[in-house]
Chains A and B, each alone.
Chain A
Amino acid sequence: MADLTHPDNFLDYLSSFWTQVFQDDGAVRGIAAADAHQLAQLYQDFVESVAALSIQTITPFHRELTYPIVLRKTTFSEGPDTIRFGKGIEWGAQPSRTAFREGVTFVYGGMEKRSGLYYVGIPAGVQNIQGGIFNRLINPSVFLVRDNDFILKDGILSFKQDPFTNPLIAKRTVAGPNGSIDEEVVLWASDTQFDHSTLFNHYGFLFPTIQGQGESYRRALECLLKAWSGGPTFAALDSLAAALAGAPLVGETSETVESIQFFNGLQLIITNTNIYTIPAGLTMRPEIRKGTVISAGQPLTTATVLADRKAGQPWWNELPALMAGPDLVAADITSLGFLNEPCRVEYKRGARFFLAGASRDVEAFWDQVRQKEADSNLSLADQLWRDAGLIDDSGAPDFSQSLWLNPLQFLAEKVLADDLLVLKLKVACLPNPSNLFRNLELLRRIAPAHATLLVFLSVETSEGFNLVRNDSGAINPTGTAPVNTQDLLDQAVGNFPLLTRQHWSAQDELGLKTKTPEALSIDDCPDIIRETLNLSSADLIQESLTIRTQELCEP
């Protein structure tokens, strides 16, 4: 059967009259080619409609086989110093984490900065040009290669050379909006992707807190729906956390790892069906080895790791301590620290071991233990000494023998044991941390209700931040100096650079004391992590100021 989306077949199908008898057969061929092309586009639309019925097959972007790019001379800008931003693009200094930055965005091959670029805004919704750009649809004489001759980013199409000076590109004179004379060229982009919100309209609207675009968005929704409708299996939650963070996952139902290689400093996982790249900064999961069979949704990196008592290494091994608050302890306390190091168990009125925290909290905790021992006629000391096998000949606990105990291990293995799900996140490595943090509540709603989900954030202390006062009375700083993250976490305000400390140099009403931040919010790489630290000291006025942090890292 002939494929009528091919222009020649379509023309043959019409009848031999048009090609053999009719004189203007070029016109008919053109009409037939247009018909055939439009037929192909409608077929593409139909395929996308069918694919949209499943989260596994839906295409994140709509595809136009060819898309006309109409350029007018007056809308063109020459760069790099006079960028004309397209509609919706912020003018002036770009805020932090904006992908479009002068001198940064237009880097060919990720290395070289070019100058002499030509910019134009294109309609919103155009996400990408997968193919090239041509001057004609049939036998083109100009073919512009993506990332070499043009770049499309943030709604700006930039060319390496001015299309209006290319003699092979047809130009025509047109009237401008106010009657002026303008020049126009039409170029054709092949395989252009548009965001028609198909993913959102079909699936994403059910979970509006999940944001994103493209394949990572589809993958996050797919993992969520799997966990949502299949129940909170360990694997489903593990996949979901990774997918929300944008970390790479296995794509096919079943794949076999054939080799693991390095290329240009990046780790590649080559399977029988795919090649996965481990992004810089991420570490491949140890269970991914040559010959391993991996399955759809399986995370490939340690950017996010889910753990419970049974899975992998003990989750508490690498932690220096765990602070337990009211969400874990039903006592009138703020926080208790269980250290991950051996502590001697004292036996006085009963057993007690070292707990970090305010003395009020520690004493309240042990008082409550004593009270419960009295009420229940049970003894914590009896249990601890017996568990350690420290008993005398009669089988009674031998309190004359010393007992050492790791409080965190005791907490993790004896007290909480199977009641905890632990999610470890390497914040600095997460490709899309804000999406994950925005949806931690969603994870909690999917995790078993009769257990607790603990989330550990691993923050890179090697990073620095600029700290700026964020309260209404703050004066815009004229400069900033980076603060070391370790100093931030240690609350070592004295180590902060003088310029940063001066941001709080305003005096109180009497001019006697210096204001200081009582609470400081770390807006780490994801700008929604908010960890409150107490930075107050006695000689400073405590005031609820917050600090806005600006990352130093450049893309």
Chain B
Amino acid sequence: MSTASQSLGFIAGVNLDPTRFTPEEIAAAELLIQQFMTDFQPDLNVSKISTLYDLNVRSQAIIYLLNKAQSQALQSTQSLHGVVANPSLANDSVVDAILSNVGVVRRPGAAATGRVRLFLSTGDSLQIPATTTFMTASGLIFRVSQSYLALQKPAAAGDLQIFQAASAGSSWYVLVPVVAAAPGINYLVPDQTPLICQPAPSNLVVCRAFGDFQGGLDPETTASLVNRIAESMAARNLTSPTTIASTLKQNFPALLDIGIQGMSGEAMTRNSDNLLSFKSGGFVDLYCRTSQGLTFASVDKVASLIDQAGSIATYMVQMDRQDLPGHYFIESIVAAGQPQTSSYTLLSESRNFENRVDPAGGITGTARPNKIRTPQEAVYSVYQTNQAVFQVEGSPDETFAFPSAMNVTVQAALLPGLQAIQSYVNDLAVGCALADYLVRAPVPCLVRFSEIVIEGAPGTSIDAIRSAIYFYCNSIPMGGRLQVDEVIGAIKGVAGVRFVRLPLVIQGQILAPSGGTISLRGSSFLEVPSRPLDQVVPENTCFFLQPSDIPITLVEI
């Protein structure tokens, strides 16, 4: 770690250089000395051709200016803005040390995680050592976090299952959990990305990413860190939008953005339950973005048969509020133990809520710390419940007897950590008296790009381009808009990129709490409309872009 004195930027023998100063600065310093000397002895020759000028005036002026410059540099190091404007004044560790005084801590970044699908030619048991690595064509490396034993019938907890598949050239596969070797969003490789396994099992046919990898995050930049200073200096309480954001971000470092709908918020509906429909005080909805990208998680449930017609059966699965709290949508429903790609056909989702909470935070009490009147008000909150109906199709050439109950795995898109935030704000030692804080995931606007054609130098990294677009889109704060020119700016920031072909069309799909879908499309920008009746306003809606929704074609020139 450098010290403040090291950070001043003065190097002996280099900085004693009069060219550091403007002619006007030097002239002013010289004039002062010349004036004093001639004031005391008017007949002195202190002009630029005099000995006194060479001996004294010039040297004294430069020494004075150097002292002054050091003083100014010292003052700059005391200013965070000065440090950011001139990074040579202090390195990251100095900035971190200064900011720790006001409670701002640099986000360290996170390693992406995912699963790799190994297609195998035989179903023999397989040992996957802890040293196994998987590498993309662009050199990104993923590791396993432990050694695994893969079997057709797993015997112990932690064993992986070898499944039978129908892919051409291979009959078996196994899904191996991996983690990126380093933090960063460039490790968010999309589904089906080819990988090289090292050491490769003898029966390996091919291996690919299974689903989009998740969770990768770059370490926070100093500029971003400085942008958070003001917020972190705010009082720690749950009173004003600023202090709420400050308090929650300090307690939940994963909280990236927060949209607050207070008493007169357009999307606030919980506070008008009176005869005159006037909005009353005391209610705050907190839309918390806890992850850059969507997270996919799964839960095992038992589905009930509700209808059967020939070879087609209809099942219902009830997602209680503790099952994937606040989830956005169900991605897949599969028979327990089967891969997500073999999902049944989802027919409908029907949301409701349960807001009874006992003092310990359970579900059986009668207290309702958060007032909710309608299912819409609970959507994407931890009180949301969801009833999913799906269809199972049997083989037509056999008499299919559907069981009345079936074990299924439900996978849904969500933002993690909402339950912890809700519990925190409901803590009587934390929240303001009389205030009702409801935590919800932001309304999602799912973004897709049309084919992005980029002209670039040979070797330009598509992964880096994808990461740049992903980072920009998933970092837009609530209330902001997604601008094509900024997307292009992000792309052009990648080494080797020369030209981005237009038009670049973006589509957005807002999943409104009312149950409706609002479609957006634009070639210059996407902006969240204000639809208070659907509880969609710019201030509570986030853009989400998945790596797989960024199709890129690189034309090498």
Chain A residues proximal to chain B, CB less than 8 Å: 7, 24, 26-27, 29-31, 33-35, 37-38, 41-42, 45-46, 48-49, 52-53, 66-68, 70, 123, 136-139, 186, 188, 198, 200-202, 205-207, 225, 228-232, 324, 326-331, 365, 368-369, 372-373, 376, 378, 380, 383, 411, 415-416, 418-419, 444-452
Contact = CB atoms under 8 A, between A and B. Distances in A.
A450 B276 contact: no
Given A34-B37, A68-B31, A450-B432, 10 more contacts: A27-B44, A42-B68, A49-B74, A202-B78, A228-B234, A328-B279, A411-B278, A416-B278, A419-B280, A452-B264
Interface in B433-460: 434-436
Nearest to A123: B24
Interface string B242-285: 11100000000000000010111010010110111111111110
Given A30-B41, A450-B284, A68 B32 contact: yes
22 contacts: A7-B36, A27-B37, A31-B36, A31-B60, A34-B33, A37-B32, A48-B75, A137-B36, A138-B40, A139-B39, A186-B35, A206-B229, A206-B233, A207-B230, A229-B235, A231-B239, A232-B243, A324-B278, A372-B275, A380-B275, A380-B276, A447-B240
A326 B265 CA distance: 9
Interface of chain A, main secondary structure: helix
Contact of A328 (B36, B72, B74, B264): B264
Contacts, number: 204
B32 A327 contact: no
Contacts of A326: 266, 532
B71 A45 contact: yes
A56 to B, nearest CB: 15
B67 interface: yes
Interface size bracket, B side: 35 or more
Contact of A205 (B27, B56, B81, B274): B81
A449 B80 CA distance: 30
B167 interface: no
A370 to B, nearest CB: 9
B81 A201 contact: yes
Given A68-B28, A206-B230, A42 B272 contact: no
B52 interface: yes
Interface string B212-231: 00000000000000000110
Contacts of B229: 206
Contacts of A329: 272, 276-279
Contact of B233 (A34, A229, A416): A229
B40 A449 contact: no
Interface string B40-75: 110010000000100010001000100110011011
Nearest to B280: A419
Contact of B35 (A42, A46, A188): A188
Interface in B9-39: 24, 27-28, 31-33, 35-39
A204 B509 CA distance: 39
A200 B85 CA distance: 13
B241 interface: yes
Nearest to B435: A450
A30 B264 contact: no
Interface string B70-111: 011011101111100000000000000000000000000000
A35 B56 CA distance: 11
A446 B246 CA distance: 12
B237 interface: yes
A137 B275 contact: no
Nearest to B271: A330
Interface string B329-359: 0000000000000000000000000000000
Contacts of B284: 449-450
Contact of B279 (A24, A188, A327, A380): A327
A34 B32 contact: yes
A68 B233 CA distance: 42
B277 A330 contact: yes
Contact of A445 (B235, B241, B272): B241
Given A30-B38, A232-B239, A450 B282 contact: yes
A334 B394 CA distance: 56
Interface string B160-200: 00000000000000000000000000000000000000000
Contact of B40 (A33, A52, A206): A33
A27 B41 contact: yes
A419 B234 contact: no
Contacts of A137: 32, 35-36, 39
Contacts of B82: 201
A34 B32 CA distance: 7
B309 to A, nearest CB: 40
